[in-house]
Amino acid sequence: MFETAESAEQVILLGVELPSSQNFAMSMLELASLAEAAGAQVVTSYRQKREKYDSQFLIGSGKLQEIAAMIEADEIDTVIVNNRLTPRQNSNLEQAFGIKVIDRMQLILDIFAMRARSHEGKLQVHLAQLKYMLPRLAGQGVMLSRQAGGIGSRGPGESQLELNRRSIRHQIADIEKQLKAVEKTRSVAREKRLEPTVFKIGLIGYTNAGKSTLMNCLTDNNQYEADELFATLDATTKQIYLKDQFQVTLTDTVGFIQDLPTELVAAFKSTLEESRHVDLLLHVIDASDPNHTEQEQVVLAILKDLNMLDIPRLAIYNKMDQTKDLVATVFPNICISLRDQGSRQTLRQQILDEIEQIFLPFSVRVSPDKLYKLYQLSKYALLDPYQFTEESQEISGFIAETNKWRLEEFYG
């Protein structure tokens, strides 16, 4: 523990709040969590209110001198800026401070580079980093004049960043070509899952809200979960039985965060596609987070950008064991603690209730010679409890519109 603390990169956080800034306080707290997730130790944080950003340094001259004095007095390795820096601002700040300066976008890209596990995920992160760095190659000061190290340096590497623009563009084209091949393979697998017979559920939510925990709760599987930002980056799809033979697919994807770099949204388009074609979204919310309302709005805003607001949603307020006062603002919802073993059946039943709302109710009379077909029907429909009789059987339940044709074999 002591050695880890000694080797941690010492950083200063800097944020500029404009009149138009939204959720600024939450954003700064989040920046600190992101820095810690990248392995840094936050020494202090600076904030400045301005009418507009300074075109040269983002901040005013007074704040610039104050931070420079702090850097000179302490052994600070890096300044992390909460706002997106232009290449010019980035270069000017590095020259003024004499140390590495990165912005929030580069920090998130860096964390993604650490957490990507699959080949596709690594390619996507590499592509996003190259696209982000391309306009910043010219005029890079401190960062390109010394050996790479610490946060903001993972992924492409220092030697690649020193290549000329043409070389970087060639790398981008090559990675995009590789991703197209990977996407073709993913599309084949997705088409199999997109059969109308299979009900599809997608997990969405702010990063670290508990999506992977929910996945494990429903599947009894060992999906990686941890109390850290962006613990899961690669889309994972599992099949589960919700009731009797009724089977659904459950997909876990990367967590959302405000000001997600546009380079990453584009790079992870194929991953986010996994949630575009679902029948029900489970919106996992960390009820214990004091900023959960703002986080909910961030998720909904991203869903709007992805044209996914029309997909039915169930809000799951998680970590209720860590909070006493909760005012739910997203409906319909269920309030549970996924760490509580008793929550598993409650969650399953609530999901089944939501599916019934999406499905169509039906009732058919089944003759004794066709009762054996009910087993097959139970794979695609939610059947109400029934008992056998000598004459015939009235069967009721709920079924998807696309599977309603399966009831025809019971007629006549």
Q: How far apart are CA 270 and CA 67, in angstroms?
A: 41
Buried b (16+ CB within 10 A) or exposed e, 73-82: eeebbbbbbb
Query: Is 232 marked within a binding site?
Result: yes
Q: Is 304 annotated as a binding residue?
A: no
- Residue 260 among known ligand-binding residues: no
Is 60 annotated to bind ligand?
no
To the question of whether residue 317 is assigned a binding role by annotation, the answer is no
- Does 74 show up as a binding residue in the annotation? no
Distance separating alpha carbons of residues 170 and 386, to the nearest angstrom? 64
Partner residues linked to 252 by β-bridges: 203, 236
Instruction: Give me the residue label for tokens 């690649």.
Output: 160
Instruction: Consult the annotation and say whether 318 binds a ligand.
Output: yes
Please, where are the H alpha helices in 284-395? 292-305, 343-358, 374-377
Q: Is 255 annotated as a binding residue?
A: yes
42 is in an annotated binding site: no
On whether 78 is known to bind a ligand per the annotation, the reply is no
H or E segment and range at residue 98:
none
Dihedral angle computed from the Cα positions of residues 233, 234, 239 and 241, in that order, rounded to the nearest 10 degrees: 0
Report whether 219 belongs to an annotated binding site. no
Cis-peptide, bond into residue 290, ω within 30° of zero: no
| 280 annotated among ligand-binding-site residues | no
Say if residue 233 carries a ligand binding annotation.
Answer: yes
Most distant CA pair in the chain, distance: 91
243 annotated ligand binder: no
Q: Is 210 known to sit in a ligand binding site?
A: yes
For residue 252, say whether it is annotated as part of any ligand binding site: yes
Ligand-binding annotation for 367, yes or no, is no
Instruction: Find out whether 254 is annotated in a ligand binding site.
Output: yes
How many CA within 13 A on the CB side of residue 295?
25
86 appears as a binding residue in the annotation: no
58 DSSP 8-state letter: B
46 marked as part of a ligand binding site: no
Q: Is 380 annotated as a binding residue?
A: no
Task: Please state the residue numbers annotated as binding site for GTP.
Answer: 205-212, 230-234, 252-255, 318-321, 337-339
Task: Please state the residue numbers annotated as binding site for Mg(2+).
Answer: 212, 232
Task: Please state the residue numbers annotated as binding site.
Answer: 205-212, 230-234, 252-255, 318-321, 337-339
